[in-house]
């Protein structure tokens, strides 16, 4: 039996669902492949509109080979998340150009569903979920179009939306009870975390400036009580002690299960919600108290035992005024004085001069800060290129740079003057969101500062950026940049409406992260324990899912059986019409059809003949005629009966 060919409306729905499905993938596709997919979809739309024949199979085979070649050239292989999604995107676009039957249309819909799932391999945020939901509605509408007759797009979309809503209760049951899987949806080690951004474990000129151009959220902090002042909002990341003349890297460290310091002073309690960055550092405020299961290094970093590959929530207490490193080991101090030979001779000379003029280490630090301030160094995201001796070029030639330039130059100067110092990277500041009461720290808040070791004081934080750009510490990156500086749109503070919109979207996104994406195995276990299932195994979970699903399906069945359909509305109006005639003495016999009843009534009441014949004819067409009757006919039928007042 020959498969029926697609109608124009069916082709239109398939094209719409495919376009909505592929649109979110555009940013992940190679430029050439994305352009080719757009051209193929446009080509199919023109063919559907004009009614022309689909292209020959040989041409389709050549296009398929071209798609495979583009993916191979771009990714160097055909296996894995990125090349696999790219290949499917191209083939889905191409599939439309050979789809001319209902059977092929169903294959396009199934591919669309698979590609909607593929969106979550990159991100699982609320925007992606909304796009996937929109694509699913379009795909279901396509299935309805493939099965039914021509219907107005608005009615078709409404029917698809109702079907999706009917599936929501069952979706909630599976969401709550299906065993949670910790970690990303994609597990191949080669590319599971290729898209994460954040701090690196090294620092070279320009690294922080590039990172600060991103408005992505690095983490959020919800404090109990007042926020710490801006001068204490330093979120500690990698500590860099080794310098090769160009790049800073971590030194040798020792890790323990408890901090090497005794916490004291003001305490800040907060919950940290950390975005995945595929590294072990946890970016806590200085200096966190003991938390079981975490790792503390001798350079005061807080680490996780595994790389942070999924969103994590930690409840911490930090004590920023705790003295640390009072009895520092000689090996660490020697490492904090080391400078590579043959680099930055002018900065070495500056350090030697400061050492000769000063009265002790404290005075050297004070004089170095004064030198930086008096040099009128300029804070900018777009510094001039540096020479081989980066620090010399920054301090004496260009005199413009970002935080990594300031911190590196400060440490090199102090080391040349005989004072142990090192670079600390992390984040500084954050913006309070009044909508949900959290402090939001973005990649644009990435920062580098220094720590100096002073006898009797231990390691002391000194931020040389504050000497030239104090507004950076007090009010954030945007306040420290000149008006012409290139900033991420979401980092700008001069647009109040944009800031308010961003805060609301951030709060909504945070709620999604906490309650949907944050529903991890621990939270599922806690919920089930609250319901009386302390240690549920797979058998218990299976029984719970089965029982809950049966209840949901039963309720939906009862609702469907009691649901009033459009046919019910037609019968209700017809019954009202017959009841009004009965009240004036003209009752319809049980065996009498609508047209026969109208004819008998017309003979008995000629004054009502035209009205009752029209109403009876409309009822017969609506009740027993084609399912795709004109919607205007139904409106006329109901309105006619509403206005019918026989006497």
Helix (H, G, I), strand (E, B) or coil at 485: coil
Question: What secondary structure does DSSP assign to 565-590, as a single string?
Answer: -HHHHHHHHHHHHHHHHHTTT-PPPT
- Residue 358 is encoded by which pair of tokens? 């000063």
Q: Is 447 a catalytic residue?
A: yes
For residue 17, which of 128, 160, 125, 121 has the smallest C-alpha distance? 160
For residue 506, which of 160, 273, 248 has the smallest C-alpha distance? 273
Write phi, then psi, for 428 (nearest 5 degrees).
-130, 130
82, 268, 403, 509: the active-site residue: 403
Question: What secondary structure does DSSP assign to 246-314, as a single string?
Answer: S-EEE----EESS-SS---S--EEEEEEEPP-SSSB--PBSSB---TT-EEETT--EE-SS---S-EEE
286, 389, 463, 509: the active-site residue: 463
DSSP state of 448: E
- Whether 109 and 138 have beta carbons less than 8 Å apart is answered as no
**CA-to-CA dists, residue 385 to 211, 248, 289, angstroms:** 18, 18, 42
Helix (H, G, I), strand (E, B) or coil at 386: coil
User: Cα Rg for the chain, rounded, in angstroms?
Assistant: 35
- For residue 287, say if its preceding peptide bond is cis, omega within 30 degrees of 0: yes
Write phi, then psi, for 448 (nearest 5 degrees).
-130, 135
28, 277, 447, 618: the active-site residue: 447
Close Cβ partners of 50 (under 8 Å, ≥ 6 residues apart): none
- Residue 388 is encoded by which pair of tokens? 């081989």
Give dist(CA 368, CA 393) in Å, integer. 17
Close Cβ partners of 233 (under 8 Å, ≥ 6 residues apart): 227, 285, 428, 429, 430, 439
Q: Is 463 a catalytic residue?
A: yes
Q: Annotated active-site positions, please?
A: 403, 447, 463
């Amino acid at each position: 039996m020959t498969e029926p060919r697609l109608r124009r409306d069916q082709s239109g729905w398939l094209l719409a669902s495919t376009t909505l499905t592929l649109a979110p993938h555009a940013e992940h596709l190679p430029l050439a492949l994305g352009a080719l997919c757009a051209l193929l979809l446009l080509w199919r739309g023109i063919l559907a509109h004009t009614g022309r024949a689909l292209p020959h199979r040989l041409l389709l085979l050549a296009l398929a080979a071209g798609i495979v070649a583009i993916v191979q050239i771009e990714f160097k292989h055909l296996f894995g998340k990125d090349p696999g999604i790219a290949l499917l995107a191209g083939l889905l676009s191409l599939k439309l150009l050979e789809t001319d039957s209902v059977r092929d249309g169903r294959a396009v819909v199934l591919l669309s569903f698979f590609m909607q799932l593929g969106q979550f391999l990159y991100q699982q945020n609320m925007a992606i979920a909304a796009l996937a939901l929109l694509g699913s509605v379009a795909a279901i509408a396509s299935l309805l179009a493939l099965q039914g007759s021509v219907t107005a797009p608005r009615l078709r979309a409404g029917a698809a939306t109702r079907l999706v809503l009917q599936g929501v209760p069952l979706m909630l049951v599976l969401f709550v009870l299906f065993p949670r899987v910790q970690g990303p949806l994609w597990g191949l080690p080669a590319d599971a975390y290729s898209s994460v951004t954040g701090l690196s474990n090294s620092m070279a000129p320009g690294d922080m400036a590039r990172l600060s151009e991103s408005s992505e959220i690095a983490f959020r902090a919800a404090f109990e009580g007042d926020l710490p002042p801006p001068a204490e909002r330093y979120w500690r990341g990698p500590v860099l002690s080794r310098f090769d003349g160009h790049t800073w890297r971590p030194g040798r460290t020792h890790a323990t299960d408890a901090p090497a310091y005794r916490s004291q002073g003001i305490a800040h309690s907060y919950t940290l919600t950390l975005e995945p960055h595929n590294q072990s550092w946890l970016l806590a405020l200085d200096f966190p108290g003991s938390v079981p299961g975490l790792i503390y290094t001798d350079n005061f970093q807080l680490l996780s035992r595994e790389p942070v590959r999924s969103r994590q929530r930690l409840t911490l207490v930090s004590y920023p005024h705790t003295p640390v490193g009072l009895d520092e080991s000689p090996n660490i101090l020697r490492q904090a004085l080391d400078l590579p030979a043959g680099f930055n001779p002018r900065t070495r000379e500056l350090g030697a001069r400061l050492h000769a003029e000063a009265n002790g280490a404290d005075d050297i630090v004070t004089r170095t800060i004064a030198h930086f301030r008096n040099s009128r160094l300029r804070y900018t995201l777009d510094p001039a290129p540096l020479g081989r001796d980066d620090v010399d070029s920054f301090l004496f030639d260009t005199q413009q740079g970002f935080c990594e330039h300031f911190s590196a130059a400060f440490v090199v100067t102090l080391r040349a003057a005989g004072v142990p110092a090192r670079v600390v990277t992390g984040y500084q500041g954050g913006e309070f969101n009044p909508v949900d009461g959290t402090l939001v720290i973005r990649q644009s808040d990435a920062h580098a500062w220094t720590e100096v070791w002073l006898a009797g004081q231990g390691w002391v934080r000194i931020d040389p950026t504050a000497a030239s750009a104090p507004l950076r510490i007090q009010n954030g990156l945007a306040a420290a940049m000149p008006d012409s500086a290139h900033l991420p749109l979401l980092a700008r503070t001069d647009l109040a409406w944009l800031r308010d919109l961003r805060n609301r979207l951030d709060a909504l996104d945070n709620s999604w992260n906490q309650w949907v994406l944050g529903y991890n195995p621990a939270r599922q276990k806690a919920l089930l324990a609250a319901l009386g299932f302390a240690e549920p195994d797979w058998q218990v979970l299976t029984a719970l899912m089965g029982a809950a699903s049966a209840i949901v399906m039963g309720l939906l069945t009862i609702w469907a059986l009691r649901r009033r359909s459009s046919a019910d509305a037609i019968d209700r109006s017809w019954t009202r019409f017959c009841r009004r005639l009965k009240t004036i003495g003209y009752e319809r016999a049980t065996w009498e059809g609508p047209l026969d009843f109208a004819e008998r009534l017309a003979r008995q009441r000629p004054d009502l003949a035209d009205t009752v014949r029209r109403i009876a004819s409309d009822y017969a067409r609506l009740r027993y005629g084609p399912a795709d009757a004109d919607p205007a006919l139904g409106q006329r039928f109901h309105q006619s009966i509403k206005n019918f007042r026989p006497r």
